[in-house]
Amino acid sequence: MPRWCGIFKPRKFVGSKLPISYFSRTTSEQERQFIKQLSSSCEKSSIVVYALEKDNLLAGLIGLSASRVDSISTVQIDYLFVASEYRRVTFEELSNTKISSYLIDLAIVLSKRISNEIGIRWLALVPDNEKLEIFYTNEFGFKPHNDRDKQRYLFLKI
């Protein structure tokens, strides 16, 4: 479970749907569909979701799962979402970082814990666009990889 973060309340969802209020935190239909899919996968226990709430409203979330890319075992970031009013905002309560950076750091910490127990050595994600690929590469050191089906992944050694 993520640590208490001052003004943010951390939540962890395993084997349950996400709160309905989470779907209204975006005006983008694409983002809403991603959150619905994430909720469904979480209910089936194939994804664990970590969320940060501020004033009882979703501020950001990250969905994590165990996966294989080609023959590489990974912890995969299935979806990362930050409510629009908090994007590009740095918070002192999150060690002077953005919500997206805090959630990726959380994924890295959890992945390192798992790697000490089983044979997973990589954190992977599929960037939604080139701008995000550049951000993940520059900010965290992810490296690009195209799988056999030419799907673009980013990998980070944990």
Q: What is the CATH number of the domain that holds 67?
A: 3.40.630.30
| Residues 6 or more apart whose Cβ sits within 8 Å of residue 47 | 38, 41, 63, 64, 65, 78
Residue 1 covered by a domain: no
**Number of domains observed in the structure of the chain:** 1
d(CA 150, CA 48): 26
What is the pLDDT at residue 4?
52
Residue 114 lies in a domain: yes
> pLDDT per position in the chain (158 positions), as tens?
455 567 899 999 999 999 999 998 988 899 999 999 999 999 999 999 999 999 989 999 999 999 988 888 999 999 999 999 999 999 998 889 999 999 999 999 999 999 988 889 899 999 989 999 999 999 999 999 887 778 889 999 99
Pick the closest to residue 67 from 107, 18, 39 (CA basis): 107
Query: Which residue shows structure tokens 């664990």?
Result: 48
Distance (Å, whole) CA 11 – CA 58:
10
The Cα–Cα gap between 142 and 86 comes to 23
Tokens of 22: 């989470």
In a domain, 3, yes or no: no
Q: Would you list the DSSP string of 23-62?
A: GGG-S-HHHHHHHHHHHHHHHTTS-EEEEEEETTEEEEEE
pLDDT for 1: 44
Domain that holds residue 83: 8-157
Q: Please check whether residue 2 lies inside any domain of the structure.
A: no
Residue 42 lies in a domain: yes
What is the spatial distance between Cα 102 and Cα 86, in angstroms, rounded to a whole number? 12
64 contacts 47 by C-beta, under 8 angstroms: yes
